[in-house]
Amino acid sequence: MDITTSITVASGVTMTIQPGATLIFHPEASLTINGTLIAQATSANHITFTSSQVSPQKGDWDWIDFDNSSGANVLEYCDIEYARIGLRCMNNSQLSLKNVTVTNCQNYGLFLLSNPTSYISVENCYFTNNNDYGIWLYNTDPDIVNVTCTNNNYGLFCYNGSNPIVGHSSFSNNNQDGIYDSVDLL
């Protein structure tokens, strides 16, 4: 599927992407989910979100954005590469990631903002070679299990009261910190 401009999935609408699909994003194109995204693939047949460029570079396209989405979004066995931000989840959107790889993004692999009451699960995922952050949290409390963050500036960056539950994960070979927790002091 060739994505030449930004696409929005409206509230109450579900977009389902089949295993083996490749979504090719042109410069500045993005996918915004106000409804629900179901992208469930298999270990043998991944779904790929990538750049349209012949020689892809970090930041070639914008992001997959969950902004106040109305449903339980699921991504399994998906590969996301060469975006500015791989996945951006904001304003109480629900998100389940399993066996997802986010690599070669210009800024963030996974950006979670203001989701204090949402269910967000990140399991068996890889965030590698992203310029700034593998995972960036702001006022968000996700479950992070069996996650690997390598070769980013920061592996996991927690800000403004984020309290993730992290288990059996690896944060190594990041330029600054594997895990950084910004504690707000009065």
Instruction: Give the domain range for residue 107.
Output: 2-181
186 lies in a domain? no
Contact of 28 with 52, CB cutoff 8 Å:
no
Name the DSSP letter for residue 58. Answer: T
Do 111 and 136 meet the contact criterion of CB atoms below 8 Å apart? yes
The tens digit of pLDDT for each residue in 66-93 reads 999 988 999 999 999 999 999 999 988 9
The enclosing domain of 47 has a CATH number of 2.160.20.10
Output the average pLDDT for the chain: 95
Q: Tell whether 153 is covered by a domain.
A: yes
How do residues 132-170 score in pLDDT, each as one tens digit? 999 999 999 999 999 999 999 999 999 988 989 999 999
Sheet of strand 143-145: strand arrangement: 14-17, 36-40, 72-76, 94-98, 120-123, 143-145, 165-167
3 state SS of 161: coil
Q: How many domains does the chain have?
A: 1
Residue of 124, 128, 183 whose CA lies nearest to 153 = 128
